Amino acid sequence: MTDRGFDLDARLRERERAGLRRRLDPAESVGARTRFSPDPRGGAPDFGDRSLVFASNNYLGLASDRRVLQAAENAARSVGTGAGASRLVTGDTGLHRAFERDLADCKGTDRALLFSSGYAANVGTIEALGPDAVFSDELNHASIVDGCRLGADETVVYDHADPDDLRAKLAQRAAGSLDSATEEDWLVVTDSVFSMDGDVAPLTEVCDAAEAFDAWVMVDEAHATGLFDDGGGVVQREGLADRVDVQLGTCSKALASQGGYVAGDEALIEYLLNAARSFVFSTGLAPPAVGAAREALRIARETDRADRLWATVATLREGLESMGYEVLGETQILPVLVGDRDDALALGDRLADRGIEAPAIRPPTVPEGTARIRVAPMATHTDEEVARCLDAFEAAGREVGLL
């Protein structure tokens, strides 16, 4: 008899063999200090000792801030725990609109639109724009890659953070189809802060290249929103709001909540709310998530919370480099380069033994030979906790033979 089912055990074994098997190790709570459990599968977690988390995207440490908690509660009480329907049916509320006005104000655009996640925002936006050609940085996030797969006629990948290669590829396509190219819609898309390398896209040069060929620019500020000027991202820091056509991001990192957004001009937002399938055919973002993200954005804009994060980043970078580690990037994401996958895993394990949660990132997430520990501090880490993290890196690095 033929078997038309799916042999998932075999697929999992194959992943195991290839070193691609993932585990879900639950945490007791989200914050700078928490307890983890080994993957309990279908059972209940068995939490161990408390660890210091240096690997979260809750960069401002606002996911447990009492003002943000209160805002989530207020939203649930006054609006509801769920939106109940797509925004286009009955799920559009005054709270969604208020947060979208705040986001547009922060981003310097006419309007903003909330999606259920950053992933949905990327996929829905690129699919709805339906570009003839997308020019995409080779290290762009998977949700951009998936949006291109779904919506772009052709995706041209340019070398990471290389505006010269971008320009060459734009020129190549323009020369290759001289007549039709003038009729085509082109989109240049890049992350602003790259999540595994902690570096920043050369946005001014990217805009220059795109403008030379009349292409649109879309920037994903997932790892930057809330951390730069006036709670904005790198686009705000560089003063590029009027040159970036689509500013996109997530509320799930520094804004300590859930949901994605697009900020742009009136026509873009009106078009997306009509045509982006991940917006149209998905329930509106849950009101508590909207309330929490809105309050987190207010705190990011009105307080010096990000300054505390940048001070911690400087201490960690300096401390790690002075021990002899190579630390990549230039942002709050501090990738400590190890190289060998097994060494990186061993370093991550030795750090965990010392109560520091900062797991190894290895191929295929990063290129072969560049396994690393991605250190990501929070604004809520104390000086003493930062010192403990550095001590752990020193002792663990010696144990693994890296220092």
Q: Find the binder of ligand PLP among 60, 201, 218, 222 (CB under 6 A).
A: 222
Active site residue 116: no
Nearest to 55 by CA among 326, 397, 360, 386: 360
Active site residue 177: no
Nearest to 127 by CA among 106, 108, 146: 146
CA distance 197 to 335: 6
**Interface with ligand PLP includes 252 (CB under 6 A)?**
yes
Segment 106 to 135, residues that bind ligand PLP, using CB under 6 A? 117-119, 122
Q: Would you say 255 or 390 has its CB closer to ligand PLP?
A: 255
HEC string for 226-279? CCCHHHCCHHHHCCCCCCCCEEEEECCCCCCCCCEEEEECHHHHHHHHHHCHHH
**Interface with ligand PLP includes 285 (CB under 6 A)?**
no
- What sign results for the dihedral spanned by CA atoms 380, 385, 387, 393? negative
DSSP state of 89: I
Q: Would you say 191 or 199 has its CB closer to ligand PLP?
A: 191
Q: Would you say 256 or 396 has its CB closer to ligand PLP?
A: 256
| Shortest reach from residue 184's CB to ligand PLP, in Å | 25
Instruction: Give how far Cα 289 sits from Cα of 198, 209, 256, Å.
Output: 26, 37, 9
Please give the order of strands across the beta sheet that includes 246-250. Answer: 111-115, 260-264, 246-250, 216-220, 186-191, 133-137, 154-158
Q: Find the binder of ligand PLP among 100, 127, 197, 220 (CB under 6 A).
A: 220
**Interface with ligand PLP includes 278 (CB under 6 A)?**
no
For the window 147-186, what string marks contact with ligand PLP as x by the rule CB under 6 A?
----------------------------------------
**Interface with ligand PLP includes 232 (CB under 6 A)?**
no
For the window 342-381, what string marks contact with ligand PLP as x by the rule CB under 6 A?
----------------------------------------
Q: Would you say 125 or 250 has its CB closer to ligand PLP?
A: 250
| Shortest reach from residue 6's CB to ligand PLP, in Å | 26
| Shortest reach from residue 254's CB to ligand PLP, in Å | 12
Q: Find the binder of ligand PLP among 87, 111, 141, 305 (CB under 6 A).
A: 141
- Based on the number of CB atoms within 10 Å of its own CB, is 66 exposed (0-12), middle (13-18) or buried (19 or more)? exposed
Instruction: Give how far Cα 151 sits from Cα of 122, 126, 133, 159, 296, Å.
Output: 11, 6, 10, 21, 32
| Shortest reach from residue 220's CB to ligand PLP, in Å | 5
| Shortest reach from residue 46's CB to ligand PLP, in Å | 27
C-beta neighbour count of 248 within 10 angstroms: 32
Applying CB under 6 A, the span of 32-40, 198-206, 215-223, 371-379 interacting with ligand PLP comes to 215-223
| Shortest reach from residue 34's CB to ligand PLP, in Å | 19
Tell me if the bond preceding 335 is cis, omega within 30° of 0: no
Strand positions, DSSP E, 116-195: 133-137, 154-158, 186-191
CA distance 273 to 143: 19
The site for ligand PLP, by CB under 6 A, has a size of 14
Rounded to 5 degrees, what are φ and ψ at 212? -65, -25
Token pair belonging to 21: 């098997």
Of 96, 169, 253, 381, which one is the catalytic site residue? 253
- 287-302 vs 305-323: helix crossing angle, rounded to 10: 80
CA distance 160 to 166: 9
For the window 32-71, what string marks contact with ligand PLP as x by the rule CB under 6 A?
----------------------------------------
Q: Would you say 98 or 142 has its CB closer to ligand PLP?
A: 142
Of 51, 117, 136, 195, which one is the catalytic site residue? 195
Q: Would you say 222 or 268 has its CB closer to ligand PLP?
A: 222
Of 96, 141, 223, 381, which one is the catalytic site residue? 223
CA distance 367 to 145: 17
CA distance 389 to 374: 13
Active site residue 253: yes
Q: Alpha carbon 224 to chain centroid distance?
A: 8
**Interface with ligand PLP includes 260 (CB under 6 A)?**
yes
Residues that bind ligand PLP (CB under 6 A): 117-119, 122, 141, 143, 191, 195, 220, 222-223, 250, 252, 260
Q: Which residues are catalytic?
A: 195, 223, 253
